[in-house]
Structures are given as structure tokens and as C-alpha cells.
Amino acid sequence: MPFDPLPFTVALLLFILLWVVARREDESSPNLPFLALILVAALQSVFTGLRWGHGIR
């Protein structure tokens, strides 16, 4: 069974949230600082999963 640390699952959910928020069909423009915050949190979660789950520094 492949090893899947919890940060990778969190990152996947954050990327899904980013996609849903960016693709919504409202008339208002997307909130770019919020999208950037979601992206940074997802990338940080991926890097944390690589460090804890696979020992990559």
C-alpha cells in the first residue's frame, strides 16, 4: 500500500478549493490575494509532506 501522509491529502483538498474558487461563475472578479493564499498553503503542505513522509530536505 503506498504511503500517503496527511499533508498530501490536505494539499489535494486545497488545490480542489483553489480550482473551485477560481472557476466560479459570478460576475465579480476573483479575489487574487485569497487565491494566492490558498496556493501558498497548498504548496507548503506539499513540502511538509515531502519532508515528513519521505525525508526530503
pLDDT in tens, 7-47: 999 999 999 999 999 988 777 888 899 999 999 999 999 99
Sign of CA dihedral 19, 51, 33, 13: positive
Nearest-CA neighbor of 45 among 16, 21, 20, 2?
16
Structural contact between residues 21 and 30, judged by C-beta atoms closer than 8 angstroms? yes
Measured CA to CA, the distance from residue 13 to residue 6 in angstroms comes to: 11
Give me the pLDDT at residue 56, please: 81
Write the single-letter amino acid at 53: G
> 54 pLDDT band (50/70/90 cuts)?
confident
d(CA 37, CA 53): 24
